């Protein structure tokens, strides 16, 4: 089985919009997916961290994935977040996502109970060999307490179904070592909006982005400029957006990005508890940065 790149450019870690009563707003979700595609986004990542997967029940999780597949109509890949700290549950949910027609899975490292590097190899191998479809490994140690080491990636990329990494460990030296050890056997996507260009410079294929929820066109342009040979332009845009990226991570994701979308009139509703709304001072600080970028009046 030859490995193929799932997407090049920008994938949006799309929010899950909620109604005022906290239920999922599926109609708004369809609108968001459509708006992303219309504005140049190259892939839809459903039920990731930004999509509040940890507070979606099983029925909602599956329905959000189903709608993402249905709404995209094959125009861009759909990648479903199916990770868990229970390997058997991860396999079961991944199989459901596969049946719904997703193009790939995003599987986060086990959280809370955590595991060793040997355990990571066993976990991901069990999922890959059971589900038999392309998998993106998701490394976000700030949330999970687990960091996939470059040597572990080198072992995992031997599996034909493990095709890519969403790397959010923030450690450029570690990412460089992973790229050196794995070469063309695995694709690397930035999991941090402030590191798109640095990871592209190491051979990365793009970003799985939070920022794309509010500016999909400009986020995509960073990668388009890079792959089009306009390295200076890509770097300039990355730096131009740095204050906005920082503002979107001034509180726990996806609290600020949902607040930003609501300020823009996109009506995506609140986050589910335990994630809680920003205080007035933080909201005003976010709004100041958004005005600087002409996102709100």
The tens digit of pLDDT for each residue in 74-114 reads 999 999 999 999 999 999 999 999 999 999 999 999 999 99
pTM of the predicted protein model: 0.96
Q: How many whole angstroms separate alpha carbon 24 and alpha carbon 56?
A: 9
Q: How many whole angstroms separate alpha carbon 26 and alpha carbon 32?
A: 10
Q: Which of 40, 101, 30 is nearest to 71 (CA)?
A: 30
Q: Sort strands 78-81 and 43-46 into parallel, antiparallel or unpaired.
A: parallel
Q: Which residues fall within 8 angstroms of residue 195, CB to CB, at 6 or more apart?
A: 170, 172
Q: How many whole angstroms separate alpha carbon 103 and alpha carbon 105?
A: 7
Phi, psi of 166 (to 5 degrees): -100, 105
Residues β-bridged to residue 11: 43, 208
DSSP-derived letter for residue 280 is H
pLDDT digits (tens, 9 = 90+) for 132-178: 999 999 999 999 999 999 999 999 999 999 999 999 999 999 999 99
Q: How confident is the model at residue 3 (pLDDT cuts 50, 70, 90)?
A: confident
Give, rounded to a whole angstrom, the gap between the first and last alpha carbons of the chain: 52
pLDDT digits (tens, 9 = 90+) for 276-289: 999 999 999 999 99
Average pLDDT, the chain: 97
Annotate 148-185 with DSSP letters as a single string: --HHHHHHHTTSTTEEEEEE-S--HHHHHHHHHHHGGG
* Structure-token pair, residue 101: 């027609």
- Catalytic choice (29, 124, 138, 161): 138
Average pLDDT over residues 24-43: 98
| CA 40 distance to own-chain centroid | 16
Exposure class string for 177-200: b at 16+ Cβ within 10 A, else e:
bbbebbeebbbbbbbbbbbbbbbb
Q: How many whole angstroms separate alpha carbon 297 and alpha carbon 292?
A: 10
Q: Is-contact 241 249, C-beta < 8 A? A: no
pLDDT > 70 in the chain, percent: 99
Whole-number pLDDT of residue 269: 97
177 classed as catalytic = no
Superfamily of domain 9-228: Aldolase class I (3.20.20.70)
What are the sequence ranges of the domains in the chain? 9-228
138 classed as catalytic = yes
- Catalytic choice (166, 205, 218, 258): 166
Average pLDDT over residues 65-71: 98
Kindly tell me if the per-residue pLDDT of 63 is higher than 70. Answer: yes
Whole-number pLDDT of residue 111: 97
Whole-number pLDDT of residue 2: 58
Kindly tell me if the per-residue pLDDT of 1 is higher than 50. Answer: no
């Amino acid at each position: 089985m030859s490995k193929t790149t799932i997407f090049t450019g920008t994938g949006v870690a799309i929010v899950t919009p909620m109604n005022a009563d906290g239920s999922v707003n599926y109609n708004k979700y369809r609108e968001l997916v459509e708006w992303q595609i219309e504005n140049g986004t190259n892939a839809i990542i459903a039920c990731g961290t930004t999509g509040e997967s940890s507070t979606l029940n099983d029925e909602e999780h599956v329905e959000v994935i189903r709608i993402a597949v249905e709404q995209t109509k094959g125009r861009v890949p759909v990648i479903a977040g199916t990770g868990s700290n229970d390997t058997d549950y991860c396999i079961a949910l991944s199989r459901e996502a596969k049946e719904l027609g997703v193009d790939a899975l995003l599987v986060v490292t086990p959280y809370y109970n955590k595991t060793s590097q040997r355990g990571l190899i066993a976990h991901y191998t069990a999922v890959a060999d059971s589900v038999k479809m392309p998998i993106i490994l998701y490394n976000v140690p700030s949330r999970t307490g687990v960091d996939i080491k470059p040597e572990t990636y080198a072992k995992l990329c031997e599996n034909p179904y493990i095709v890519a990494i969403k790397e959010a460990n923030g450690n450029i030296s570690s990412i460089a070592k992973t790229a050196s050890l794995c070469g063309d056997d695995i694709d690397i996507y930035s999991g941090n909006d402030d590191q798109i260009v640095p990871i592209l410079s190491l051979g990365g294929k793009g970003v799985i982005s939070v920022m794309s929820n509010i500016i999909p066109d400009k986020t995509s342009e960073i990668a388009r400029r890079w792959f089009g040979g306009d390295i200076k332009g890509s770097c300039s845009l990355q730096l131009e957006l740095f204050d906005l990226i920082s503002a979107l991570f001034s509180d726990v994701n996806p609290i600020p990005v949902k607040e930003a979308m609501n300020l823009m009139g996109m009506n995506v509703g609140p986050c589910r508890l335990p994630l809680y709304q920003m205080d007035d001072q933080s909201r005003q600080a976010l709004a100041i940065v958004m005005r600087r970028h002409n996102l709100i009046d």
